[in-house]
Homo-oligomer: A and B are copies of this chain.
Amino acid sequence: MVMLLRSCCRVLLPHIVTCRNHHVSAKGKRCLLSRLYQPRSLWEVKASETEAKPNEPTSKSQKLMIKAGLIRPSSPGCFHYLPFTVRAMEKLIRLIDKEMQDIGGQKIDMPTLSSAALWRQSGRWDLMGKELFRLMDRHNQEYCLGPTHEEAVTHLVASEGGINNKELPLLLYQITRKFRDEQRPCFGLLRGREFYMKDMYTFDISDESAYETYRNVCDAYTNIFRALGVRFVKVQADTGNIGGKMSHEFHLPANIGEDRLLVCGSCDFSANVELLQHNEKNCPVCTGQLKETKGIEIGHTFYLGTKYSHVFKATCYDSQKTPFIAEMGCYGIGVSRLLAASLEVLSKEDDIHWPGLIAPYQVCLISPKKGSKESEAITISETLYDEIIQSVPWLRDETVLDDRSYLTIGKRVKEAHMTGYPYIIVVGKKALETPSLFEVRSHNTDEVHFFSREGVIDFLQRVKVI
């Protein structure tokens, strides 16, 4: 069988691309909702059908994300992320990257396959028990699927002969999939077996500088959660099987949360109930009343000390080349969990509310129904769409035209609210008046405005994207 084909051997000048963002629609093409893969098979069914199997706990974010065509279960604790979710995840990752890099974080990428030898060296091969996914390769070498990477990163740094004075503090991080064989995965992306985590590992020469690094990372975490507009609590925490000298957890207060927190109504106090003695009802700081809330853990910081650097001999050198065992910290954010937890705390029962900055798309523009009185306004909606992406170029890839003109406006507005677009623009009857007026709904603040064409553009100028 002779197989032959055209050759493409010409060496051409590189085709140059000037954009720096991920999702670039082809120029001049409209982003049509009818083309987007957002399976709606469940939109019409009763809520009960979107729920998990009997006895399987479920959560609001899980139900909404499945119903709105954002995720699909594949096996217990594992999900397909559909296009809307990937867009939101990429934005969340950009936000985290920015904050990590602003404090000097450098991004690396370590393998999922993690050799048993490393885990035996730290003593965690046995300690991790059934939560570790374990496997053997064709040569009967043992590996686990990394749930965290203290061993890997410390061994890496140590094997380079240590860290010189100028490189200190060294902050290495990655945003990769992690694996944990949960006994009972549940709540969708809130407690999965395969999930995205941002894990940072820091190396300092002294206690003092390590504490400063610890504070810097905590401040960056605060920036991230504030940028998302979610209410969060930071509490001191147990160091668990990670180990170390000090640890804090970041939680989003939510009924579905698996940690019980006590928050004082009168002062700044808050704590994980597990760590309080007896059954305290009053704040130990101001004696104000403690209110119990549950929390979803979205971040965890550890001051490790020399626990791992001692085992793997990771060394820092001062300006006189004197070696010191590195003081380490490790810092996690459950990235996919943070995404779902944000929806959990911000959404209404039937409508998703995204943190504005990471919504998959910022704007949904809804055209009139074909055959309706206002159907002549269909072309007006197309022109308005083109004007928006012309005048507000950063919304070029953020604006969806709901072109399903066989559906009523009402039905599409309802779906748009459910999907959670921060801004919904309806081209209805008033678009045929002189001058044209358009309804602009701000989903997250529940405001409705009628704007002229210029008013719409002015309004959208203030929408920020990442």
Among A5, A115, A183, A222, the most chain B Cβ lie within 10 Å of the Cβ of: A5
Interchain CB contact under 8 A, A237 and B166 = no
- Segment among A14-22, A379-387, A433-441, A448-456 that sits at the interface with chain B: A14-22
Interchain CB contact under 8 A, A12 and B226 = yes
Bound form: Cα–Cα A109–B466 in Å: 20
* Nearest B residue (CB) for A285: B4
* Nearest B residue (CB) for A223: B15
Given contacts A17-B95, A17-B466, A464-B16, contact A231 B11 (CB under 8 A): yes
Interchain CB contact under 8 A, B465 and A18 = yes
Partner of A227, one of B16, B160, B284: B16
Interchain CB contact under 8 A, B356 and A14 = yes
Known A6-B268, A79-B111; further 7 A-B contacts with Cβ < 8 A: A8-B222, A19-B98, A34-B167, A80-B152, A86-B107, A87-B107, A113-B179
Bound form: Cα–Cα A83–B101 in Å: 11
Given contacts A25-B101, A112-B177, A234-B8, contact A14 B229 (CB under 8 A): yes
Interchain CB contact under 8 A, A5 and B271 = yes
Among A36, A134, A156, A394, the most chain B Cβ lie within 10 Å of the Cβ of: A156
Partner of A8, one of B5, B232, B357: B232
Q: A243 on the interface (CB 8 Å rule)? A: no
Given contacts A102-B26, A466-B20, contact A3 B137 (CB under 8 A): no
Residue-wise, chain A 77-106 has the 8 Å CB interface mask toward B (1 for contact) of: 011111101110100001101100110101
Q: A37 on the interface (CB 8 Å rule)? A: yes
Partner of A111, one of B37, B83, B194: B194
In the complex, what residues of B have CB within 8 A of residue A233's CB?
A: 7-9
- Segment among A272-280, A325-333, A363-371 that sits at the interface with chain B: A272-280
Interchain CB contact under 8 A, B229 and A75 = no
Partner of A7, one of B24, B109, B270: B270
In the complex, what residues of B have CB within 8 A of residue A101's CB?
A: 23-26
Q: A292 on the interface (CB 8 Å rule)? A: no
Interchain CB contact under 8 A, B72 and A156 = yes
Partner of A270, one of B5, B11, B115: B5
Bound form: Cα–Cα A82–B156 in Å: 10
In the complex, what residues of B have CB within 8 A of residue A6's CB?
A: 234, 268, 270
By size class, the interface of chain A is 35 or more
Partner of A235, one of B5, B13, B83, B135: B5
**B-contacting residues, A265-313, CB 8 Å:** 268-272, 275-277, 284-285
In the complex, what residues of B have CB within 8 A of residue A324's CB?
A: none
Partner of A36, one of B98, B106, B269: B106
Residue-wise, chain A 330-343 has the 8 Å CB interface mask toward B (1 for contact) of: 00000000000000
| Minimum CB–CB distance for A465 against chain B, Å | 7
In the complex, what residues of B have CB within 8 A of residue A143's CB?
A: 75
Q: A410 on the interface (CB 8 Å rule)? A: no
In the complex, what residues of B have CB within 8 A of residue A102's CB?
A: 24-26
Given contacts A15-B227, A80-B156, A94-B20, contact A35 B104 (CB under 8 A): yes
